[in-house]
Amino acid sequence: MDFSNALLKKKIVICVGAGGVGKTTMSVAIGFLAASLGKKTLIMTIDPAKRLADALGIHVGGKPVLFEQKLNLEQKWQPKAPLYAMMLDTKMAWRDLVTRLSSSGEVRESIFSNRFYKHLSEEMAGSGEFVACEALYTLASESDFDLIVLDTPPTAQALDFLTAPERVLSFLDRDAFRLFSAQGFSFFAGTQRILMGVIGKFVPGHFLQELIDFLNIFSELYEPLVKRAHSFLHLLKSQETMFSVVVAPRTNAIRESIELVQALFAEKFAVEALIVNQVSPLLFFQWSLLEQREALRSLLFSMVIEPQKRDQLSSALSEMLDEESKMMNEEEKLQSQLQQAVSVPLFLQCPKIRPDLNLSEILQALLPRLSK
């Protein structure tokens, strides 16, 4: 099975990997490939850096934005279905979540005005990743997108994202809800008054009352959150989701990617593709190094150049080929280490892209490699 066929069977593709390996560029290329296959596609990033907007050359906000630019691509790579992009707005996502799950406007406004909600939604470690999970699940289960391509931050943050539902739900501990919520027992019951008196010696009374108010109000959201978190984890581990690990042929990136794949396997996530990006262009030439040297010599001798300058140019080009060849050999060794350490169904290689290329040129270079 090739990568294009794999995309046709998926609902979510998650691009993960070390920093600086080109995950955002690869997410964009995968999004365009899916759209060229006729799938209505959303490219979504949870990376706070605005790399996705920069890559697409459009304003990307907290809601899906249609990509409407006409690119200079071969007909087979032109989008056959709409392509959208969005960057997660954590604050907006939390508001959407509370709005969807709360039973009334009164409950909703009580939550929004509570200081513990503000801490949970803006400051608590893992809250951004948790609401990103919720936003992704909502889009995957309730929107009409055929495919969502998720661009993630570097490795450690990506793993935080994948484990966020369980970590944040542990904060909203079920026993704590039973203890403090009105559903557990009346606020004026003798047991709770004693408890309030004991705890009140250590924390201000108004602080404790705000916490109890928050738990009372938020308790009605707890069961739906638990259910959705489990559903999201089920979706991530289902055959509808594919993890694509993007890696560059550098020692640190290879080592980090091996550890990442092993961590994903340990969590029962399906890593189906390894995409080695930023590979030496020499790897894609059909000619040997000797054949390339001879071709350059023939080209130089066909040019009207003074013999001395021609020899200097030939020497410089030969040195360049030698250096590039050494780099290519090192890259091949690293890729071999990667393939020996982890086994996945799809192994793809994409060339190093010059930084001065525009989006059309980048896609023309990457799409043929991804479609194999």
Q: How confident is the model at residue 150 (pLDDT cuts 50, 70, 90)?
A: very high
To the nearest 10°, report the CA torsion of 24, 30, 32, 36: 180
Q: What is the mean pLDDT of residues 196-216?
A: 56
Which H or E run includes 137? helix 127-142
What one-letter code names the amino acid at 43?
I
Measured CA to CA, the distance from residue 177 to residue 196 in angstroms comes to: 15
Which segment of 175-184, 204-213, 261-270 scores lowest on mean pLDDT? Answer: 175-184
Q: The domain 3-281+327-370 is classified under which CATH number: 3.40.710.10, 3.10.20.30, 3.40.50.300, 3.40.50.720?
A: 3.40.50.300
Question: Using only C-alpha atoms, what is the Rg of the chain?
Answer: 26
Share of the chain above pLDDT 90, in %: 28
Buried b (16+ CB within 10 A) or exposed e, 189-219: eeebeeeeeeeeeeeeeeebeebbbbbbbbb
What one-letter code names the amino acid at 321?
L
pLDDT of 187 higher than 50: no
pLDDT of 184 higher than 70: no
Q: Tens digits of per-residue pLDDT, 2-15?
A: 999 999 999 999 99
Distances, alpha carbon 130 to alpha carbons 88, 175, 264, in Å: 12, 21, 18
Tell the residue number behind the tokens 């069977």, with chain if given: 9
pLDDT at 253: 87
Buried b (16+ CB within 10 A) or exposed e, 52-71: bbebbeeebeeebbebeeeb
- Pairing outcome for strands 346-351 and 65-66: unpaired
pLDDT of 108 higher than 70: yes
Residues 5/242, Cβ–Cβ less than 8 Å: no
- Tell me the average pLDDT of the chain: 79
pLDDT at 12: 96
Between these two residues, 75 and 226, which has the higher pLDDT value?
Answer: 75
Closest CA to 135 of 83, 84, 105, 92: 92
Max mean pLDDT among 13-17, 124-128, 132-136, 332-336 falls in 13-17
Tell me the domain boundaries of the chain. 3-281+327-370
pLDDT of 174 higher than 60: no
For the four alpha carbons of 50, 53, 58 and 64, in that order, the dihedral sign comes to negative
pLDDT at 291: 63
